[in-house]
Structure 1
Amino acid sequence: MIETAVHRPVTLGQTEKMPSYRMDLRQYKNQKEYEKFVKVNTVNDWSTVSWKDIGKPYEVTSFSKDKLDWEEEHGKTLPVHTSWTMFNQSFHEWFSKDVPAEIHEKKGAFFHSLKSFKPSEVKVALGDYIRIHLWNYVHRVQDGIWDPRGKRALFEGLDIQKPRILFLGAAEGYEAMQLSAMYPGGEVVMVDYDAFCRDARFAEFPESYPFLGKNPSTGGEKVYFKDDFKISYVVDDIRNLSFGAEFDIVLSVGLLEHFPDSMKAEVVEWHRKFLKPGGYIVMTTPRAQLRSKLYYEIMADVMNHTYRELMTLEQMGLYLYENGLDIMNHGYIKVHNGIVARAK
């Protein structure tokens, strides 16, 4: 990640585009503005939702060139662990870009390719130029991947203090840190079975990124940074974890949609088995909407190394409801669905 300083000065309400991300410490000014960015609790009774009415998730079938090349070379399906390593390395490379500089470079490369009169070179250069502009819009302009205002809205209102948080498939750990800022004083255990996530994605998350949360001393707002949180990172398969039912929050972000229906119940159980009685399960998945489908098509080489679905909020919720969870809060934000649930 690119950063200018550790714990750079910030102001409540401030937003600013940094070279590789947007920092955003804004709160919603009123209910109307809140509802522009997040729609919550749109289903009144989950028992009335049926698969016949809502259909099944959209399966993404465009895959990265690295995956296709590997499978052609080896004559077999890309192993799951290898696919995740490829994805994490590719995704982290994009998070690490100095985006304005990259836009300038790709623009120059595109115009240079026009002089070659070779359609293949022009096509590659144009694709690179389109992808960096799309990444700039999604991540730096719209802040659709981290989306702090939307996720704070989804995470608010939990009856909990100093929580122990377990993050399954943690990657760089963003959402657990946001939860820790909102409910300070606890600890986080992050789990991912790709060591690259601990050693690069989390290790290189910018120390200067500000998380807006609560000041337990005053009840007002406070800005936190990565090193304010008590975090441990476990590299292991979720199925090998030896934890008991000891966490106040069990969290996953973009995990459920990577498993077919035959495994959805097992994925839900991974969350439930580590949860204290009365604790919260917090899950998000990418939304099934036209712009998300286009994004995963254009960014296939960056994003699509393994099985992936895009879901509506109703589809995500029904998977959880049918597998023994009570849905306490649900909503959709810019590019994600989000649900807060408890075990029945």
Structure 2
Amino acid sequence: MSELQVGTTELTPSYRVDLRNPTNESLDEFINANVVSDWSQLTWKTVGKPYEVKSVASSKREWEHQHGEMSVKESWEFFNRSFHEWFVKDVPAELSSSKRELMKYLSRFQLGEVKKALGETVRLSLWNYAHRIEDGIWDPRGKRALFEGLDVRKPRILFLGAAEGYEAMQLHAMYPEGEVVMVDYDDFCRTDRFGLFPDSYPFLGTNPASGLPKVWHKNEMNIEYVISDIRDLPFGKEFDIVLSVGLLEHFPDDFKAEAMDWHRKFLKPGGYVVMTTPRLQLKSRLFYTIMADVMNHTYRELMDIRQMGLYVYEAGFDILRHGYIKVHNGIVAQPR
């Protein structure tokens, strides 16, 4: 796709392409919640602690029955492989097939198979709505709105826990001519989640020569993918933007301060930390219940924006912007 398609949206069998509204006047939306005017006055007694997702994937339970407790790294490896399978599905075709199987088992009164087929149909229907129709997982319009207005030019971007790297590629498109370093400690993320991310997927950004909208693709971007534990990275304070998406909520409170320190450790003076976490809302709780076998291999919390912001503030950051998009909280911050 090219600039000729700017302003359009289109469904593929696996995901939605959305190049609508490059001027962010209506459809791109980051709700600047403004729920907190003075973070220093907010307390945990006021906001309460995040909601912990306690349902567990059956594959994790089965593995632990055979081998004992999964390590954190093994849990992430299970999650990455399970999650990736859903991104590459031809969702309409698989949904039609699942419904046919369900009707076949119903007609034969095979109740055990009916239960399995019904569960798969429900999961496919939810994934179709959440990822493909609503585009809530990638949410390009919301994330463009979250990322806009950063005072950077040709930035170095560090993405911690990068997985397929979607958000860093969106940032790169909006602030081009820089470079991205993606970090994950599961090589499957490099080879498959990022490696098989479609080259045809269009990211709406900016033409640095004209300032006009431009469509960018993965193979046009300056990206390095590093396989490493974040604690072992050799970088100094050399990045203009340090990004994490759905990372903080995987750490119990005893480890959240350390996770926040990782964001500070690699940031240039005057640089930006950009973070998201899944929102605490009814539809998110429903999603993680129905999709437990896909999603729930690791420790996970759902937060509201005040809870997320309090973690960030207590870790020594000033919050420049806080709010929410479709299914995530979003914060832009700088170290105090």
Q: TM range, normalised to the smaller chain?
A: over 0.9
Q: Which runs of 5+ in 1 are unaligned?
A: 1-6
8 A contact 1:8–1:208 mirrored in 2: no
How does 1:208-227 map onto structure 2 within 5 Å?
A: 208-227=200-219
1:61 maps to 2:54: yes
Tell which deviates more after alignment, 113-122 or 267-276. 113-122
Match of 2:81 in 1: 89
- Number of residues paired by the alignment? 336
Deviation at residue 29 of structure 1 after TM alignment: 7.3
Tell which deviates more after alignment, 226-235 or 38-47. 38-47
SS in 2 for 1:52: helix
8 A contact 1:39–1:333 mirrored in 2: no
Match of 2:9 in 1: 15
Match of 1:184 in 2: 176
Report the identity percentage: 65
Q: Provide closer, same or farther for how the CA distance between residues 180 and 40 of structure 1 changes in structure 2, counting only shifts above 3 A.
A: farther
CA distance in 2: counterparts of 1:107 and 1:278, whole angstroms: 54
Deviation at residue 9 of structure 1 after TM alignment: 8.0
1:45 maps to 2:38: yes
**CA distances 1:246-305 after superposition (whole Å, capped 9, x unpaired):** 000010100000000000000000110000010001110000100000000000000000
**CA distances 1:158-198 after superposition (whole Å, capped 9, x unpaired):** 00000000000000000000000111110000000000000
The two structures have a TM-score, normalised by structure 1, of: 0.95
CA distance in 2: counterparts of 1:8 and 1:278, whole angstroms: 34
Deviation at residue 8 of structure 1 after TM alignment: 7.2
Q: 1:78 aligns with which of 70, 73, 78?
A: 70
Deviation at residue 48 of structure 1 after TM alignment: 2.1
8 A contact 2:242–2:272 mirrored in 1: yes
**CA distances 1:205-262 after superposition (whole Å, capped 9, x unpaired):** 0101000111111111111000111000001100010100100001010000000000
Q: Provide closer, same or farther for how the CA distance between residues 158 and 79 of structure 1 changes in structure 2, counting only shifts above 3 A.
A: same
1:343 maps to 2:308: no
**CA distances 1:67-120 after superposition (whole Å, capped 9, x unpaired):** 00011112x211111111110001000000001111111111111111231322
Deviation at residue 339 of structure 1 after TM alignment: 0.6
Deviation at residue 30 of structure 1 after TM alignment: 7.2
CA distance in 1: counterparts of 2:85 and 2:252, whole angstroms: 28
**CA distances 1:24-79 after superposition (whole Å, capped 9, x unpaired):** 011277756556x63443322211221111110000000100000011112x2111
Matched residue type, 2:46: D
SS in 2 for 1:185: coil
CA distance in 1: counterparts of 2:22 and 2:286, whole angstroms: 29
Matched residue type, 1:48: Q
CA root-mean-square deviation: 1.5
Match of 2:109 in 1: 117
CA distance in 2: counterparts of 1:209 and 1:259, whole angstroms: 31
CA distance in 2: counterparts of 1:328 and 1:170, whole angstroms: 23
**CA distances 1:107-137 after superposition (whole Å, capped 9, x unpaired):** 1111111123132211110000010010000
Match of 1:205 in 2: 197
Match of 1:25 in 2: 19
Q: Provide closer, same or farther for how the CA distance between residues 9 and 101 of structure 1 changes in structure 2, counting only shifts above 3 A.
A: farther
CA distance in 1: counterparts of 2:257 and 2:234, whole angstroms: 20
Runs of 4+ aligned structure 1 residues displaced above 4 Å come to: 7-10, 28-35
CA distance in 2: counterparts of 1:31 and 1:216, whole angstroms: 21
CA distance in 2: counterparts of 1:202 and 1:30, whole angstroms: 27
1:300 maps to 2:326: no
Q: Which runs of 5+ in 2 are unaligned?
A: none
1:133 maps to 2:119: no
Match of 1:98 in 2: 90
